[in-house]
Structure 1
């Protein structure tokens, strides 16, 4: 009896990639194949190879995951192309802030759940939805900034709320991020992903640990009214900040794993580990969100229930300029005070060396001081004589002539 050929399996790295692309944990794969999670880990690392019936089951599972991935790519590829909007910023758009900047293209990705406006706030330009459309009128720096703000700010406020659970802090984080973007607009305008630049800045400010020392943020804000929303927000806020940020970027915003790892400044395996751990915690606390699709939908619903409004673009720009002027004047005042202090120190400093006074030294060999005793007979007579002689006043002394 001849044994048939073994069922082919993809390489170990490809096995793990297929599992992560399907948003499955090792425990879920182990349950489907009838093994333990440690065995699945060994299969994905290449230490062991499945055999017999388990090999066939594992191979069928991987082939099904690969087919689902291929179909999902074919369906979502046209949508991703359609969701991209291109804003052309010429040298006039950068203006006096970057005179040497050449014509650049700023690609702004549509945030989840946000409508795309027909033109930027303030007029003067239009957003081209198709590459074949005629070239738009050059935008000024303010108009280009307003267009970026109109695309990203509303969704970023809701994302920051999921990160912090605080409404005011979410709005403040987005405003600070855009104020910094306006101060560095020549750099942001030529960036490959301006929306990602602003998102990363807003996330960093929202997750800063220094907010806990501010009096206004010492007490928690009122939770959402719905019980399921409260449960989801509670489990999100109990996750460590890096895990919470990774989960929001991957399952909330929709970034892929390499982009999520790059934005969180972690390696791809580390980002994958954080994502899986966060999903397991959420699935343990809220079992109905074990499916990544259901988790993505609930995150969007939770963010949309709060009526979070971002400030107007002109308000953000003027606020950023006011803050920049304040810190510039503070730096100038500090420099002037430092120069004045240095000049006063130089003026009053001694011009020559003055040696210090040496401390006194103890002299040895001096007899001890004794108390005065009783007078002798001769001393007593002399004292009486002196007293009597001094009664009528001192005698005049005259020199003797010779």
Structure 2
């Protein structure tokens, strides 16, 4: 067997291969179908675990070369446009944080809302989770901007928000939403929602988003063997409900169709940023008010607290040794005589003690 060697030059790094595919707005399944290979093969090429070979490898190399040239042309066109607009303007200015955030939101939010819908089966919750994830990203934008995969960072936060168990206690989410109109979509969504959250998330990331197994394991915070086991059991459970989805390629296509069938629109990036900033201001003011209350209560306590030691008052104790009161009895002759004398004596006392009025 003769292996055809690629003569189009060295391939880009695995990280650049994925970026070039995404810049061409292609998923792994779409590019694999264009090249005539399986998605697992393309995933291995893209991660660098296998070296492309044969006519398919040559086609993959040509695609990467064309993508590199297209990216270079776009950069030159942008530079020439800036220079033609104002020759004295100098080099193009870098994007501001708001512009970079808006670009990330416009690229990731629409697809992320549809993916989150596959996890929850709730349209409003999917939009809310994605908006909350982007608000968190805007609050921590320096960290997110330096991340090697900002879209993956936001996706992980959005999935965590969507799968939070606290939503079941919210009145607006106690009742189920109307299911999809297509019976096949209803059956697939019912099978997905019947999976445990960890299995559902693994299935959506691998078969829906198109991540490879190590990336899926990293995003779900599991080992690679554990992620593989969850994926296999999730596929078996879905195939038990819908036997036509036993083929992973068919399952991937049906997940994409189910997510695309719902009209799920995300809010504008400026709205998300503004709401996030207002919420930051609210919580900042609340924290300041709470701190002031603690300081005030501490100062009041110090003001009213005693400055010296005061021993506690001892509890009352019974007095012992007091003779009991004598009981009343008959009077003796002397006592009777004294009583008679007192009865007949002047109650006002001697006259010499009476006041004289003049």
Q: Do they superpose with TM above 0.5?
A: yes
Unaligned runs of 5+ in 1: 1-65, 87-127
Distance 1:80 1:239 in 2: 41
The change in CA–CA distance for 1:148 and 1:67 in structure 2 (over 3 A counts) is: closer
How far did residue 331 of structure 1 move?
0.9
Normalised by the length of structure 2, the TM-score is 0.74
How far did residue 133 of structure 1 move?
4.1
Kindly indicate which of the two structures has a greater share of residues assigned to helix: 2
Which residue, 343, 346, 350 being the options, matches 1:395? Answer: 350
CA deviation map 1:297-331 (0-9, x unaligned): 11111111211100011111111111111111111
How far did residue 131 of structure 1 move?
3.8
Find the counterpart in structure 1 of residue 75 from structure 2.
134
Which residue, 341, 356, 381 being the options, matches 2:312? Answer: 356
Find the counterpart in structure 1 of residue 243 from structure 2.
287
Which residue, 150, 155, 159 being the options, matches 2:111? Answer: 155
Distance 1:333 1:348 in 2: 22
Which residue, 60, 73, 78 being the options, matches 1:78? Answer: 60
**RMSD (Å) for aligned C-alpha atoms:** 2.8
The change in CA–CA distance for 1:69 and 1:362 in structure 2 (over 3 A counts) is: closer
CA deviation map 1:180-200 (0-9, x unaligned): 111222221121111101101
SS in 1 for 2:308: coil
Higher relative contact order (CA 8 A, sep 6+): 2
Distance 2:223 2:147 in 1: 22
Give the number of aligned pairs: 290
The change in CA–CA distance for 1:79 and 1:222 in structure 2 (over 3 A counts) is: farther
Distance 1:369 1:218 in 2: 78
SS in 2 for 1:134: helix
The residue correspondences of 1:61-72 to structure 2 (distance < 5 A) are none
Find the counterpart in structure 2 of residue 185 from structure 1.
141
The change in CA–CA distance for 1:329 and 1:245 in structure 2 (over 3 A counts) is: same
Find the counterpart in structure 1 of residue 287 from structure 2.
331
Distance 1:341 1:80 in 2: 72
The change in CA–CA distance for 1:375 and 1:338 in structure 2 (over 3 A counts) is: same
Normalised by the length of structure 1, the TM-score is 0.66
CA deviation map 1:225-246 (0-9, x unaligned): 2222222212211211111110
Deviates more, 1:255-264 or 1:203-212: 203-212
Unaligned runs of 5+ in 2: 1-36, 46-51, 79-91, 354-358
Distance 1:395 1:246 in 2: 116
